[in-house]
Structure 1
Amino acid sequence: MTKGTFGRAALAALLTTVAVPAMAQSQATTTPPEDTKPAAAQDTTEVVVTANRREENLQDVSGVVQALTSDQLRQDGIVELRQLQAAVPGLSIANQEGNVEIFIRGVGSANNTELGDPGAAPHLNGTYIPRPRGLGLMFYDLERVEVNKGPQGTLYGRNALAGTLNIITAKPRLGQWGGYTQAEYGNRNSYAAEGAINIPLGQTIAARVAGYYVNRDYGFKNVSTGAQARDLKPAGLEENYAGRVSLLFQPNDRLSVSVIGDYGKETGTGYPGANIFAAVQATGLRPEDLDLRRVVYRGLQGDMSNELWGVQGKIAYDFGTFSAEATGSYRSVDFYQVNASSDFTDWPGRNLNTVLYDNFSGNFWQTRSQSQVYELRLFANNDQSLRWNLGGFYFKEDQQVGYLALADRGYCCYSGTEFTMPDVKGESYAVYLDSTYDVTDRLRVIGGIRYTNEKKSRYGIGGNWALTLGGEDYACCFGTRLGTEGFRPALLDRPNFNVTGLTTPRQLAQFLIEGIATPGARDTLIQQIGAIANGTNPNGTCIDRPDIDNGFVNCPARNPSNTNGGFSYANLAIPGQQSGSAKFNFVDWRAGIEFDLTADHMLYAKVSTGHKSGGFNDSFNGSTIPEAFQPEDLIVYEAGSRNAFDLFGRRAIFNLTGFYYDYNDQVFQDLTCINRDTTQTPPVCNGYSLVNRNIGASRIYGAEAELRIKLPGHYALDLNAAYLDTKITTGTVADARAQDNSAGGNSPLVSLVGNRLPLASKMNLSARLSQWFDAGPGRLDWQALLNYRSSFFLTQFNEDDIVFLNGTRQSALAAGFPDRQPGYVTLNLGLGYTIDKFRIEAWASNFLDEQVSQKALVGSSLNIRFLNDARSYGIRGRVTF
């Protein structure tokens, strides 16, 4: 890849710590490191989690929490965040153009722009992260990762509708020198390095410094043949690096002060998907019968840069019967991406030499976020019969968001769409109380309540860049080139975002030109309308160039009204003003009981709720689009048992949970009129846009089972299985697949009732078999992680037939919109050999090379897929000291 050298890998390798087992989230530990101990040799019962905001053995938690230690992740071949779903049934993680989208049991949100929020709450060391762009940069030098399934509205609050994903980093150790370095090399010339060092700074202070570097290729291939496009690098190339410094001050058993600072940067060719629409229509083949990683690229080189940094602080004090904890966090995100423009996914028999490679239509994204999170919590210590949490939470975020879509070679009336918001604010506060009370030695009751108040506002611009440039005898129209080689939009660097009162041609032309930071080498827009902007010619400058000529339009001859060779007419339009504000408040609660049949067998039943924050819709003059949508809410009824028992003389685990979800005020995207002509009878709509509406409801029920056993011969078997049945019970939307541009963009209505929720497989199974044994002077271990996932749909339409406005019916496949991902099996393999502090590992992820669509966007002539990583394998060396 460009940018950077292997020197960064060497730097990361010099930053070196011992990967530790699960330990207290707020305290140091002197437990010896188990970095070199095979996962199969570790205890299956003593896993510490913080799902209830206090340290507990996993078997004492009434709910479904999966925790994976750093050793387990590494040996599973899980080297990046999206691969977690191979080990966690019911979890789906996709990356759409830099947005990390997390769904748990079919619940989540794909609206991660300034308009909305995630539906599954990501956390770093228990602190909420509002914008999960670049979340994978935190995926190194870990203690463990916890996935808490089901709504966590009471204890974790904001946007924990589906559950939480908590990345817990390794902590400093008092009084210990230690660390590790590791380096790896994989297929497709991928390489990585990681390391950490633990530094005691006296008896009461310790520091930990960690670093990470990776150069990765996700396996896409550019099959373009045109000279302008064949050397473009495909999407999915990454070069990332990050560093973290952690400090711990613990002068006594009561006081603990910690500070963590981290910095990371992602670079590469970005995360756009591949449009399969043309391939499906041309061949009638289903996506699974095509090679979706063979992509025809054209236009600008895909480019992405994402810079993140943050600081977390925590002060904890033990007063004896209770403790107090104050935390604060500041996090900054600065993301920019030029989409690697894909014309289509290739298909057999396609003549690639007929593709118009000189087409620079594309998309530009810019997101900046500065967020602050503060929390003060008082809680009873674990030796109390009434264990309570009392807390206050405050969140504030400032965002700046820019987006520009360009339609290069637009021969009439349209050149692009821009939504740029320089001022987006969000603020939230909450208070909560949660407790567990021991009624008897065997019976406990749990209960909690949380009140949340939120407000949001946004200001900026949104709408079309439109140019209609007339030729001789008012013929329509000359095209405009915009976005060719070297082009960069201004986006957030625009000098002005106030479009109120901009009505004259000169003002409109000036505003359009201000949206360009760097013109493309063969762009024409500034040449065409520059004279309008500077006042030298109100008709602009007519350029008759073959690449912008539709074949019959000529520049007007000079005449008294057109002395400078301008257009016969020049109609311009700019984006409109966008502004809005919204306020929400809601209450979350939970209640339940836990009963110990014996010391090793617990039954539980509980009811819990969660909310996802409301958000905004883009506004347009004269439209009836609601300014904001309201929060979604979810109530879950859950019952289960957690069991430990002896098998083959060893401790084993079996847990079983059943649940029912009542999902209300669900947001679906719907096409809504944005340009209604009321001068006609009846009124006619001349334009539609997707908006978010609280028009849905769903029910979900299912069960999850977990089995962890040690077998003779140093074998271990871990099984996690989930059954999920989802059904939309309310929801009628416009079918975006059948949008009719000849009718102003209108679409027929379609009922979603009876459809399954997207990304919700009925069956999901994860099975891990591992073994270790002594071999020569060291120890050999191996493991295989198999994941089965049954078929699921990628959109709310569930591949239903399309009924167009004229009444004709067509199958989704024939129309180019198949959205069913067939069931599949993935297999990860690991092999390791340890001698003292030296370890070498071989690993393979997605060994069967399954090609899986993890997300889809559908619309008029669009069926864009975002895929999993292709088969990857490699070798890794690790030294612990």
Structure 2
Amino acid sequence: MGQIRRSRLRLALTPLAFATMVFSAAAQDRTTQDTSSANDEASTLDAVIVTVERREQDLQKYAGTAQAISGDDARALGINNELRNIQAVVPGLSMSNQEGNLEIFIRGVGSANNTELGDPGAAPHINGAYIARPRGLGGMFYDIERVEINKGPQGTLRGRNALAGSLNIVTKRPDLEQFGGYVQLEAGNRDHQAGEFAINLPLGGWAALRLAGYSVEKDSSFRNAGDPRLDPAGIQDEKGGRVSFLYQPDDKLSVFAMADMGKEGGTGYPGANIWTATCSSADPETCPDSPGLSPDDLDLRNVVYRGAQGTLDSTNWGAMANVSYDFGPIVAEYNTSYRDVDYRQTNAASEGILWPGRDLSARGPGNPDGFDYDNFSTQYWETLSQSTTHELRLSSAGDGRFQWTGGAFHFNEDQQVGYLSLTDKGTWFSGTEFTMPKVNGRSTALFADGTFEVNDRTRLKAGVRRTREAKSRYGIGGNWALGLPGVGGDFATRLGTEGFAPAFMQRPNFDVTGLTSQADMARFLLEGILQHGQRDTIAEQIGAVPGGGDFGCVDRPDIGGDTIDCPYQPWVQVNSIPSQQFGESRFQFNDWRTGVEFDLTDDHMLYATVSTGHKSGGFNDSFDVDVIPETFSPESIKAYEIGSKMSHRWFGRPGTFNVSAFYYDYTDQVFQDLTVISLNQDGEPAGYSLVNRNIGRSAIYGIEAESVTRFGAGFMLHINALALDSEIKEGTVGDARSQNYGAGGVTSLIDLTGNELPLASRFTGNVRLQHFSELPFGSLDWQLLASYRSAYYLTQYNNRDVVYVDEAQDFVRQETAAEAGFPDRQRGEVTLNAGIGITSLDGRWRYELYGSNLLDNDVSQKAIVGSRLNIRFLNDARAYGMRVRYQF
């Protein structure tokens, strides 16, 4: 099948190239024959200036595939304050949000590893400064000039983790000459209320300040079908501010500095586990009450909340500076930035989603089998990150035949990370904790890049980058395991009830070596609790053990009632505590690019490039204090691209038509695999865990085309489309869906060869129609965006059957992905956005109506799949509203 798909794509290239040449010839012929009339309403097409090659240039002169979305267009289409909605405008771009981490995939390449050891696969930036932890990135999306999306590996130019490409948010800079600004108020559905402002203050013609800020409050698109006392996840409460300074006393010196801060509150980022609704396993113990429904037949936003209230408290602030000086033959530029992330979230706890016929009657004296809303099992997150970047660049000045740049880059990040997953009223298990007080990542690189003009029409390009990276981590990670059964029934410990707070970085000690006695382990678990919940029992149950006392038995109605009788069994115990975690990795690698540009005419450029990119490697968790953690190498892509960029005039109407074809060789691809972490008395595997390993290789082919045409009567038409073919060439891994805890956690092996990459639709495209007209009292403009994305898989498993095995890897049973509760195919959908605005005659007042996702499609943008987990993270639901903007 893969060979057939490649043949079709190669065959498509020939007519496409021929069509491009015919299009070019026709456009040149019409340009020769036609002359512009004096009253031509559309005589020019504005140049789109971008910085994708680390310098300002016309996008039509860039030998590669990139897009730029202006702040005005994004706002008009309802994309403001929802940065991930920009994917509707950019074919091949996929963005989702998990626990505040904005995950960016471009053409099927990215990363979903959000741990402290993970890195983005598409590099996010603000004003060119690299952002290591893309938490709260949407909070920077105000008072912006544009968003640039560069497609394809950018290892030489953008450097760190630009494997798939890069996304750069460019904010509005201060204006040296004109005082002004705006105030904007906004209201919409879901009780949306927002405000935004900016003030530009010139300082004597050689310096200027710009102040900007915003505030947003908005109800969730999820609905609570469970405990009515709880608010659903996804309620927004955001605010932020920014101050920018520009100093340009002459043509030689330029100093730009910016500081910003964003604050996020609300109820946290939402996800919904649909496994209980989709599973229909033949094993009655696996999912006895599940109806086996398709995700397409479910309302994925009706979530059964219970227990803990979801909360979010995140502060993200930073500062950056750019200083450049023109020495004549050489321009020197220094860039530096600092970012500080303080992110804390308590997940909104739920029991999956509501399906037709599901009985949610509350448990009570007359209904002992009812639904247990008094269950506080949930997860707690804390991420503290402080990162700095420094870059020194030297480049050629003037317009000589050889344009070059070179320099050095250094990045450092220190993190303190906490994660605690609690099981309230659980059996033989109470939680998992990973707390890392010391996590460090460093990257240093030297780079050089140049373009040589062979003649008036031909230019050669080349660049190279040498990178050294290092990571290290110290802390604890593993299970809180308790066994406290009473003589009459099961164990139950209340943990995480109202008021509970984990200690995380406030633990007095992170050294667990040698802690093997019951007293030591009990003390260490209690030290992980900063504040006990109001109805927690763990202090009563194990609080006396650290001092040599006995386990305390608690018999309360809310932890079992008549099913548990004190005293405990004589063999009660603290089974385990988190283990010591220490790891480090070091890697060196080269990135390079080479290419040629040829001007067929003054308005038509052909190009061919070969470029590479890497995503940082790392190491896995420690499972034995005496064994060095297994490392995984950086992923890499070598990309080949040919393209055509052409400006044209058809019947006197200007436009552009760009087309490119590309092939990616994706190697050292990281997949999760299975490893043995413990043996039984006979030396046979008894415990398993998932680890990251370089066991994949994929191929990606594609054709992308973009057309912009300005017509008469104020109309402009944008068409953008991408055809993509991705195929995993090799990769046999442990199938996390099949984990069998009754057999120590063993999984079966699955060969992914022939599967498509996750989030890689075969076709994405959009059509955007804009119109502008003058009115007696001002002007009217509107735009309509229709986007289509074909079906795609959410995981690498591609709906393949699930095979269950025992400890010896002997077959137990086989089920379809749907029967096992893991359907992972998202059907194709159309997204419709629209906006209309009226501007007053003096340009001061503007009134807008906007709508995004007007068809209100529910689209899964990410899935976490594992044993009894199929958690979906959705797009933003339908949003519409109005805004008033006063410009001064």
What TM-score, normalized by structure 2, do the two folds share?
0.91
Aligned AA for 2:179? W
In the alignment, the residues of structure 2 paired with residue 858 and residue 622 of structure 1 have an alpha-carbon distance, to the nearest angstrom, of: 29
Which aligned pairs between 1:370-519 and structure 2 lie closer than 5 A?
A: 370-381=386-397, 383-411=399-427, 413-472=428-487, 477-519=490-532
CA distance in 1, matches of 2:155, 2:763: 26
Work out the CA distance in 2 between the residues paired with 1:627 and 1:299.
Answer: 38
Match of 1:89 in 2: 91
Answer yes or no: is the 8 Å Cα contact 1:623–1:673 preserved in 2: no
* Corresponding position: 1:584 with 2:599: no
Report SS of the residue matched to 1:459: strand
Deviation of 1:759 (Å): 0.3
User: What is the CA distance between 1:808 and its match in structure 2?
Assistant: 2.4
Indicate whether 1:280 and 2:278 are aligned.
yes
Specify the SS of the correspondent of 2:795.
coil
Task: Give the distance between the partners of 1:301 and 1:605, measured in 2 at CA.
Answer: 54
Contact 2:618-2:633 at 8 Å conserved across structures: yes
Residues 1:322 and 2:337 aligned together: no
Q: Which residue of 1 is the match for residue 255 of structure 2?
A: 257
Shift of 1:566: 9.1
1:574-595 per-residue CA deviation (whole Å, 9 max, x = no partner) reads 1000001110110000000000
**More deviation in 615-624 or 262-271?**
615-624
Instruction: Report the equivalent of 1:788.
Output: 788
Q: Give the counterpart letter for 1:457 in structure 2.
A: S
* 1:300 aligns with one of 301, 304, 308: 308
1:427-458 deviations in Å (ceiling 9; x for gaps): 11000000111000100000000000011100
> Which of 819, 823, 826 is matched with 2:828 structurally?
823
So what's the TM-score if we normalise by structure 1?
A: 0.92
1:132 equivalent in structure 2: 134
**Alpha-carbon contact 1:541-1:567 (below 8 Å) kept:** no
1:148-167 alignment to 2 at 5 Å? 148-167=150-169
Q: Structure 2 residue aligned with 1:662, among 648, 659, 665?
A: 665
User: Are the structure 2 counterparts of residues 206 and 41 from structure 1 closer, same or farther at C-alpha, using a change threshold of 3 Å?
Assistant: farther
Alignment correspondent of 1:608? 611
- Three-state SS of the structure 2 residue aligned to 1:813 is coil
Q: Secondary structure at the match of 1:140?
A: coil
Q: 2: CA distance between counterparts of 1:694 and 1:648?
A: 54
Q: 1:547: which partner in 2?
A: 558
Once the two structures are overlaid, the 10-residue window that deviates more, 191-200 or 686-695, is 686-695
Q: What count of residue pairs does the alignment treat as equivalent?
A: 822
After TM superposition, the structure 1 stretch with the greater mean CA deviation from structure 2, 322-331 or 148-157, is 322-331
Q: Distance in 2 between matches of 1:321 and 1:768?
A: 44
Cα 1:45–1:442 shift into 2, 3 Å: farther
CA RMSD of aligned residues (A): 1.6
Structure 2 residue identity aligned to 1:523: D
The one-letter code sitting in structure 1 at the alignment partner of 2:273 is: N
Give the SS at the match of 1:815.
Answer: coil
1:65 is paired with a residue of what secondary structure? Answer: strand
Cα distance in structure 2, aligned partners of 1:583 and 1:144: 36
Corresponding residue SS for 2:484: strand
Kindly indicate whether the alpha-carbon contact (under 8 Å) linking 1:542 and 1:567 is maintained by their aligned counterparts in 2. Answer: no
The one-letter code of the counterpart of 2:320 is: Q
More deviation, 255-264/379-388: 379-388
Q: Which range moved further: 211-220 or 128-137?
A: 211-220
Quick check: 1:700 aligned with 2:708? no
Letter in 1 for 2:741: N
Q: What is the alpha-carbon distance in structure 2 between the residues aligned to residue 404 and residue 246 of structure 1?
A: 39
Corresponding residue SS for 1:95: strand
Q: Would you say 1:52 and 2:67 are equivalent positions?
A: no
Which one-letter code corresponds to 1:144 in the other structure?
R
| Structure 1 residue 114: Cα displacement | 1.0
Contact 2:780/2:839, CA 8 A, preserved across alignment: yes
Question: What residue is the counterpart of 1:5 in the other structure?
Answer: none
Matches within 5 A, 1:172-321: 172-224=174-226, 229-281=227-279, 282-321=290-329
Is the contact between residue 509 and residue 572 of structure 1 (CA under 8 Å) also seen in structure 2?
no
SS of equivalent to 1:812: coil
Residues 648-699 of structure 1: per-residue CA shift (max 9 Å, x gap): 312100000000000000000123222222x30xx33332222111110000
Match of 1:123 in 2: 125
**Does 1:364 find its partner at 2:400?**
no
Residue of structure 2 in register with 1:341 after alignment: 349
- Residues 71-107 of structure 1: CA deviation (Å, up to 9, x unaligned): 1111122112110101000001100111110000000
Are residue 832 (structure 1) and residue 837 (structure 2) matched?
yes
* Contact 2:584 2:618 (C-alpha < 8 Å) held by counterparts: no
Taking a change above 3 Å as real, the CA distance of residues 726 and 249 of structure 1, as seen in their structure-2 partners, is same
What amino acid sits opposite 1:542 in the alignment? C
Paired with 1:769 and 1:743, the residues of 2 have a C-alpha distance of 58
Give a deviation string over 1:700-737, Cα, whole Å, max 9, x none: 00010000001122111001100110000010111111
Mapped contact 1:726–1:760 kept (Cα < 8 A): yes
Query: For residue 407 of structure 1, what is the amino acid of its counterpart?
Result: T
Equivalence map 1:846-857=2 (5 Å): 846-857=853-864
Deviates more, 1:277-286 or 1:453-462: 277-286
1:727 maps to which residue? 727
Q: Distance in 2 between matches of 1:865 and 1:484?
A: 26
Structure 1 pair 269–44 and aligned structure 2 pair: CA distance change class (3 A):
farther
Report the Cα offset of residue 43 of structure 1: 5.9
For 1:494-532, what per-residue CA distance to the aligned partner results, in whole angstroms no more than 9, with x for missing partners?
A: 111111121222111111001111111111111100011
* Equivalent residue, structure 2, for 1:6: none
Match of 1:61 in 2: 62
In structure 1, distance between residues paired with 2:415 and 2:866: 28
Measure, in 2, the Cα distance between the counterparts of 1:65 and 1:306.
32
Report SS of the residue matched to 2:742: helix
**Preserved contact between residue 306 and residue 335 of structure 1 (Cα < 8 Å):** yes
Q: What is residue 16 of structure 1 aligned with on the other side?
A: none
* Contact 1:469–1:476, Cα closer than 8 Å, also in 2: no
How big is the shift at 1:637?
0.4
Q: Percent identity?
A: 56
Deviation of residue 54 (structure 1)? 1.2
Give the corresponding residue for 1:105. Answer: 107
| CA distance in 1 between partners of 2:269 and 2:43 (Å) | 37
**1:544-583 correspondence runs (5 A):** 544-549=555-560, 552-556=563-567, 568-583=571-586
CA distance in 2, matches of 1:270, 1:879: 32
Q: Tell me the CA shift for residue 534 of structure 1.
A: 3.1
CA contact (8 A) 2:607 2:644 kept: yes
Contact residue 142 and residue 168 of structure 1 kept, 8 A: yes
Q: Deviations over 1:177-219 (max 9, x none)?
A: 0111111000010111111000012121110000011112341
Matched, 1:861 2:868: yes
The AA in structure 2 aligned to 1:420 is T
Q: Is the 8 A contact 2:581 2:625 kept in 1?
A: no
Q: Cα offset for 1:478?
A: 2.3
Paired amino acid for 2:833: N
| Residue aligning to 2:754 | 754
